[in-house]
């Protein structure tokens, strides 16, 4: 499932969530990735393992996602959920 989410994000944004880049657009799509997987019932540790991070990074990303006020990111989240169901 996580592979499918990564593929959708890469297809729609051209960004790879596994890249170790700190630019804002990468941080935002990683936060989106964490949020989607968390909504699918993944644990923090399991999400972290899929991208080579630690669970604390995932928690931080989830909190960061709550603060993002981006129409584009919200639309992408809806698209991912729609494609997965």
Tens of pLDDT along the chain (85 residues) come to 999 999 999 999 999 999 999 999 999 999 999 999 999 999 999 999 999 999 999 999 999 998 887 888 889 999 999 998 8
Query: Residue 10: what pLDDT?
Result: 96
User: With contact defined as beta carbons under 8 Å apart, do 35 and 62 qualify?
Assistant: yes
Return the axis-axis angle of helices 24-39 and 71-84, rounded to nearest 10°: 40
Distance CA 31, CA 28 (A): 5
Query: Residue 15: what pLDDT?
Result: 96
Distance CA 15, CA 5 (A): 12
């Amino acid at each position: 499932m996580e592979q499918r989410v990564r593929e959708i994000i890469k297809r729609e944004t051209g960004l790879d969530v596994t890249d170790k880049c700190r630019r804002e657009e990468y941080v935002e799509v990683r936060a989106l990735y964490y949020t989607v997987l968390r909504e699918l019932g993944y644990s923090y540790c399991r999400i972290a393992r899929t991208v080579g991070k630690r669970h604390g990074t995932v928690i931080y990303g989830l909190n960061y996602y709550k603060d993002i006020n981006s129409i584009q990111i919200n639309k992408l989240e809806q698209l991912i959920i729609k494609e997965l169901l």
